[in-house]
Amino acid sequence: MGLTGGIGAGKSTVAKTFIERGAYHVDADRIAREVVEPGTPGLAQLAEAFGPEIIGVDGALDRPALAARAFVDDESRKLLNSITHPLIGARTKELTDAAPADAIILHDVPLLVEGHMAPFYHLVAVVHADADVRLDRLVNLRGMDADDARSRIAAQATDEQRRAVADLWFDNSGTPDQLAAQAVAAWEERLIPLRDNVAAGTAAPLPTDVRDYDPEWALVGQRVVGRIWALLGANASAVTHVGPTAVVGQAAEPVVDIEATVADLAVADSVSDALAGGGFPRVASSDVERLHVSADPGRAVRVHVRPSAH
């Protein structure tokens, strides 16, 4: 799963709560520092690209000096990213591959939304606090300059952008204990069942009662469309939210139906394992489709994998 939240939102409290319960922690910030430590190829590449002045007298990266050179224009930023991103990605994969088979892997990524990474996780959890609350914490608890704190908050994703990708939304307007309690409930009621269902290839039960239209259905549809694209890639020619929950204002069973169009049923069969591993095990086959259902007990979804001519 991916965990994110704006600076000062309280993400570390949620991460700590998950880690205490056995989550395998992959910290993007730590990795970003690790790949440019003294003596690393990453630091040498940065010095070659931006000059030896970015290395301090202690042999460590002088981050303000790097920022003065790397954030002057788009071309410099792209050069910086072309060096650091592959190193971060490789180290992230190395750590992820080393996780125990039954682990719930927690990718702690501050810029998950900004990096458009949400579709690559089974679930995305967002820790939220209003901007004024975050500003107060940054200034009064961390000692950050107020103008610097405001600029950092403004440079990150908006609340609306985070909410659009959030499968889990943790409200940190209260105490740390209250935030931790939300995380514990999510761990026990959603993350553990999802982990176990994916391992067993088991779909979560789907609700059958009809409910009034819920705008959240459209948001879930958008998130799952992105997830299915990430899982199928070039095997799909179209992925669309269909069915009653895609109709604004219509009452329906609260199940989001996704249609993934592929070339033929042979391709539908070939992507079955990818969908199952991604949280959508196959539950039925017919002459017109392969039906997959979400393993997530908190997200009722059917994925209809159909050939282009059906």
- Retrieve residue 177's tokens: 């204990």
Q: Sign (positive/negative) of CA torsion 259, 164, 208, 182?
A: positive
Q: How would you list the strands of the sheet with 282-285, edge to edge?
A: 236-242, 256-262, 301-307, 290-293, 282-285
- Interhelix angle 11-20/176-186, rounded to 10 degrees, is 50
Q: Output phi, psi for 234, to 5 deg.
A: -70, -10
Per the annotation, where are the binding residues?
Answer: 8-13
Asked if residue 118 lies in contact with residue 13, where contact means CB atoms within 8 angstroms, the answer is no
Asked if residue 277 lies in contact with residue 295, where contact means CB atoms within 8 angstroms, the answer is no
- Give the chain's largest Cα–Cα span: 69
Per the annotation, where are the binding residues for ATP?
Answer: 8-13
Q: Sign (positive/negative) of CA torsion 111, 115, 116, 121?
A: negative
Q: How would you list the strands of the sheet with 105-108, edge to edge?
A: 24-27, 105-108, 2-5, 124-128, 168-171
- Interhelix angle 41-50/63-70, rounded to 10 degrees, is 50
84: Cα separation from own chain's centroid: 20
Q: Output phi, psi for 203, to 5 deg.
A: -85, 150
3-state class (DSSP) for residue 197: helix
Q: Sign (positive/negative) of CA torsion 109, 26, 93, 77?
A: positive
CA dist 268 and 40 (Å) reads 44
